[in-house]
Amino acid sequence: MSEKYEKYYVPAESPWPFMGAVALFLIAVGAGNFVIETTRDKEGYGGYILAVGLITLVVMLFGWFRNQIHESMSGMYSSQLGRSYRQGMAWFIFSEVMFFAAFFGALFYARVIAVPWLGGASNNDMTGEVLWPTFNAIWPLIETPGGIKTEAMGWYGLPLINTIILMVSSVTCHMAHVALEENKRKNLKIWLSLTVILGCIFLALQVEEYIHAYTEMGLTLDAGIYGNTFFMLTGFHGFHVTLGTVILFIMLLRVFKGHFTPDNHFAFQAGSWYWHFVDVVWVMLFFFVYIL
Amino acid sequence: MTATTNDTHHDGPHDEEHHEHHIPTGIKRWLYTTNHKDIGTLYLWFAFIMFLTGGAMAMVIRAELFQPGLQIVEPNFFNQMTTVHGLIMVFGAVMPAFTGLANWLIPMMIGAPDMALPRMNNWSFWILPFAFAILLSSLFMEGGGPAFGWTFYAPLSTTYSNDGTALFVFAVHIMGASSIMGAINVIVTIWNMRAPGMTWMKMPLFVWTWLITAFLLIAVMPVLAGAVTMVLTDKFFGTSFFDAAGGGDPVMFQHIFWFFGHPEVYIMILPAFGIISQIIPTFARKRLFGYASMVYATASIALLSFIVWAHHMFTTGMPVAAELFFMFATMLISVPTGVKVFNWVATMWRGSMTFEVPMLFALAFIVLFTIGGLSGLMLAITPVDFQYHDTYFVVAHFHYVLVTGAIFSIMAAVYYWLPKWTGKMFDIGLAKWHFWCSLISVNVLFFPMHFVGLAGMPRRIPDYALQFADFNKWISIGGFAFGLSQLIFLALLIKACKKKGEPVSDQVWEGAEGLEWEIPSPAPYHTFETPPEVK
């Protein structure tokens, strides 16, 4: 709550949110049908509907953000509105944390409870004896009770390199923010470009790791609970890194267009927060999925 | 709480500062609106339409259960009805109704010009009709709609479900996105938009309870998204999160689901506590007893809601230590809830009580919600839950807390604030008919469910043993009567929206206090563009 209450900008009617709702509708219908059609070998239009939905979403975001950038740069926003945006972004990141928590929860439950119980721990002696007497309850689960075999991904090598890359990118992102606040535009461009490049390298290496896992290790999404948690956690993280890289790339374009001032750069700040968030998630991943 | 409002009613095109000061007209007003009152109205009407839709499905369920044996619908369709009835009532009726009330009331209660993020507000509303269009249309598709219960337990939703589950999953994803955006908006509005002088401990309790509800929503809706995602990959992409043969566990589904699901039930009741805490003081003409303890009790309930989820799972074979922990943690919740009931009763003690329609619903809430709370306490006791689990006793319990709890509080709220919204008093005669018909029929409907449940009648089954026939006949009659009673409400609301009735004063109710009662009735399109000074 501010001491001096400034005028709060309440936007007039806008077509973008409704268009966003239509986009999400098309995405949901399209994705649902697309999943059914691809996994069940059916004919249909799911993929096309999904594509139209995604294009609608991009157009909507472009129009909505263009409006907001225009409003912000013509000085219609008070510092109170800036706080609304920052708080909104912070709570959005909290919701993302809880999304990852669901999958980390599944990982912990599988490791600490489900797999040991299948091996007969707690009061489950007979489960092991009757259903799967030869099952070996170890983690990483390289052979499922049903008999699917796989290999565990080590932490040394690519994952370690990727960890270092993301940690460094967090630093370069912060340096870009500092440069922006000190109004050193040249440094800002350098540090931010470096961050985007590091993000792209991370993604490329991640793709390489996936190819290695699929073709040489037999570690696949459907290779039992180890493969499930491995690919869902690293996959959703990779999706978030992709999104973060796109956001930072757009910030870079805006920097080159001369946007942002030392005290008015919410979009940049939000993108930077998001980047630090995906880095923290990676550190958790590296520790719980790869090392332990 | 007193407040002075300065220059809040400069409506009309005279004010040159605001070019958008006219009230937009036509369909675009509703599609493109950024006004918290318009969006609140949209939410409330959407919720009411969904309430009638989900109610129609309940009528199908009660018609089938009127007699033992299979008469009217196929078992698979019966399962679709129980499933979609639950989903619609939870995500389509109760939650949007509370969000609609939040939209209408929070800015007026804290002296803010609008919600903090008005465009995102519109987005979160308009996602909902589309999400429910997907859910409802799946009923007409090959294989039918979801039939695994609103809790979509694996393997019912994975191994044994139809392919339409993919559509269910993505519909839940987008309605979750809607809820998260709505909650972010509420939390930021309360945090950042309060008028000068509106300190935390001066906030009306409806605002407090919604702040805490919004926190719960942001914390658990993403977990629901995670759960449906795992269902999707288990069903279509060969993962085995919920399949023991791959090293997973079907019980893990229940843990993840109820980690969302238990806070979810408080999401559906905390705003109700806020509403009752606004209404009781007005008609008792006394200040709310124990304001601070109400705030702390709400926060305690919210925090406890994260550590009680497995009381839904006592019969899944958890270790005894876990059963005991979740039993005691659950019983602990009755302490802050008891504080609340005590405070409401203490507020009325020696008050100058009058019994206008909102007060009638609020009083019914206190009595009937407490019945639901006490049956919840019975269910919390692990050993007896082994008998109650999955019987009609559970159905009776959660309908007492959700229908005579959440829904009655929403009706109380609508009657309480409707004159402020329309500027006219609603038809009091119709409202009293609505109240008494609902009150009597709802008890005929849900009270006997306790007995058939204790006697062992299982839930979610379209047929039952002969000894339950008499009670079920009465339950169905109560159900049809309750359903019909809501048509009185519909008639009253249509009449109110046509702005028929006696004009009301700004304060509307004699004992009403708070910023929303100091602006004109009907509330102007824009309020508090310059914030009031709260003393």
The stretch B345-350 carries a mean pLDDT of 96
* CA B86/CA A51 separation, integer angstroms: 32
pLDDT at B328: 97
Contact residues, chain B, for A72 at CB < 8 Å: none
Contact residues, chain A, for B169 at CB < 8 Å: 32
Residue B149 CA to its chain's centroid (Å): 19
Query: Given this structure, which CATH class describes domain B34-534?
Result: mainly alpha
pLDDT at B206: 98
Contact residues, chain B, for A85 at CB < 8 Å: 117
Tokens of B117: 């993020």
* Active-site residue list of B: 85, 114, 150, 178-179, 262, 264, 266, 277, 311-312, 337, 340, 459
Determine the Cα angle at A214 with ends A212 and A219, to 5°: 105
Of chain B, the percentage scoring pLDDT greater than 90 comes to 93
B249 in reach of chain A (CB within 8 A): yes
* Dihedral over Cα of B164, B166, B168, B171: its sign: negative
* CA B24/CA A222 separation, integer angstroms: 54
Least confident of A62-71, A145-154, B20-29, B519-528: B20-29
B246 in reach of chain A (CB within 8 A): yes
Contact residues, chain B, for A107 at CB < 8 Å: none
* CA A174/CA B492 separation, integer angstroms: 59
Following DSSP, what letter does each residue of A200-256 receive, concatenated? HHHHHHHHHHHHHIIIII---TTSHHHHHHHHHHHHHHHHHHHHHHHHHHHHHHHHH
pLDDT at A127: 80
Contact residues, chain A, for B222 at CB < 8 Å: 95-96, 98-99, 101-102
Residue A1 confidence (pLDDT) above 60: no
Contact A146 B238 (CB under 8 A): no
* CA B522/CA B499 separation, integer angstroms: 10
Residue A3 confidence (pLDDT) above 90: no
Contacts of A154 (CB under 8 A, 6+ apart): A290
Amino acid at A51: A
- How many contacts does A have with B, using Cβ atoms within 8 A? 238
The stretch A178-207 carries a mean pLDDT of 97
Band the pLDDT of B406: cuts 50, 70, 90: very high
The stretch B228-246 carries a mean pLDDT of 96
Q: What is the pLDDT of residues B290-321, one digit of tens each?
A: 999 999 999 999 999 999 999 999 999 899 99
Residue B246 confidence (pLDDT) above 50: yes
Contact B127 A123 (CB under 8 A): no
* CA B371/CA B511 separation, integer angstroms: 29
* CA B511/CA B286 separation, integer angstroms: 8
Q: What are phi and psi of B424, to 5 degrees?
A: -125, 145
Write down the residue that tokens 């268009």 correspond to.
A19
Q: What is the dihedral of CA A79, A80, A85, A90, to 10 degrees?
A: 110
* CA B212/CA B206 separation, integer angstroms: 10
Provide the strand spans (E) within chain A.
none
Find residues 290-309 of chain B whose CB sits inside 8 Å of chain A: none
Set out the domains of chain A in order of their start, with CATH numbers. 1-77 (1.10.287.70), 79-291 (1.20.120.80)
Rg, chain B, Cα only: 23
Following DSSP, what letter does each residue of B267-318 receive, concatenated? HTTHHHHHHHHHHHHHHHTSPPTTHHHHHHHHHHHHHHGGG-GGGG-GGG--
ipTM more than 0.85? yes
* CA B56/CA B527 separation, integer angstroms: 38
Residue B9 confidence (pLDDT) above 70: no
What is the separation, in whole angstroms, between the first and last Cα of chain B?
7
Band the pLDDT of A6: cuts 50, 70, 90: low
Contacts of A203 (CB under 8 A, 6+ apart): A238, A241, A242, A245
Contact A106 B226 (CB under 8 A): yes
Following DSSP, what letter does each residue of B15-31 receive, concatenated? -TT-GGGSPP-HHHHHH
Beta bridge partners of B533: B4
Give the nearest partner residue to B34 out of A14, A123, A141, using CB atoms. Answer: A14
CA B407 to chain A, closest CA, distance in angstroms equals 27
Q: What is the mean pLDDT of chain B?
A: 94
pLDDT at B12: 40
Q: What is the pLDDT of residues B84-117, one digit of tens each?
A: 999 999 999 999 999 999 999 999 999 999 999 9
Best B122, B134, B264 residue to mutate vs chain A (most A CBs within 10 Å): B122
Contacts of B314 (CB under 8 A, 6+ apart): B323, B326, B327, B382, B385, B386, B389
pLDDT at B11: 41
pLDDT at B453: 97
pLDDT at B21: 56
Contact residues, chain B, for A6 at CB < 8 Å: none
Contact A106 B241 (CB under 8 A): yes
* CA B461/CA B18 separation, integer angstroms: 59
B252 in reach of chain A (CB within 8 A): yes
Contact residues, chain B, for A103 at CB < 8 Å: 226
Contact B319 A123 (CB under 8 A): yes
Q: What is the 3-state secondary structure (H, E, C) of B483-505?
A: HHHHHHHHHHHHHHHCCCCCECC
pLDDT at A128: 77
Q: What is the pLDDT of residues B425-440, one digit of tens each?
A: 999 999 999 999 999 9
Centre a 10 Å sphere on the Cβ of residue B30 and count the other Cβ atoms it contains: 18
CB under 8 A, 24+ apart: contacts of B51-56: B51/B89, B51/B92, B51/B93, B51/B97, B51/B407, B51/B486, B52/B486, B52/B490, B53/B88, B53/B92, B53/B136, B54/B84, B54/B85, B54/B88, B54/B89, B54/B92, B54/B93, B55/B483, B55/B486, B56/B483
CA A123 to chain B, closest CA, distance in angstroms equals 8
Tokens of B263: 């806070």
Angle between helices B250-267 and A79-109 (to 10 degrees): 150
pLDDT at B500: 87
B191 in reach of chain A (CB within 8 A): yes
Contact B237 A222 (CB under 8 A): yes
Of chain A, the percentage scoring pLDDT greater than 90 comes to 85
Q: What is the 3-state secondary structure (H, E, C) of B174-231?
A: HHHHHHHHHHHHHHHHHHHCCCCCCCHHHCCHHHHHHHHHHHHHHHHHHHHHHHHHHH
Residue A5 confidence (pLDDT) above 90: no
* B522 upstream amide cis, omega within 30 of 0: yes
* CA A22/CA B127 separation, integer angstroms: 8
Contact A228 B114 (CB under 8 A): no
Q: What is the pLDDT of residues A155-185, one digit of tens each?
A: 988 999 999 999 999 999 999 999 999 999 9
B192 in reach of chain A (CB within 8 A): yes
Contact residues, chain A, for B163 at CB < 8 Å: 36, 40
Determine the Cα angle at A230 with ends A229 and A234, to 5°: 110
Find residues 121-180 of chain B whose CB sits inside 8 Å of chain A: 121-123, 126-127, 129-131, 133-134, 163, 166-167, 169-171, 173-174, 177, 180
Which helix (H) or strand (E) segment holds residue B4: the answer is strand B3-4
CA nearest to B459, candidates B145, B61, B154: B61
State the pTM of this model.
Answer: 0.95
B526 in reach of chain A (CB within 8 A): yes
The stretch B366-383 carries a mean pLDDT of 97
Cβ(A191)–Cβ(A169) below 8 Å = no
Give the nearest partner residue to B245 out of A10, A94, A145, using CB atoms. Answer: A145
- The residue in chain B having the minimum alpha-carbon distance to the alpha carbon of residue A99 is B222
Which helix (H) or strand (E) segment holds residue B125: the answer is helix B118-137
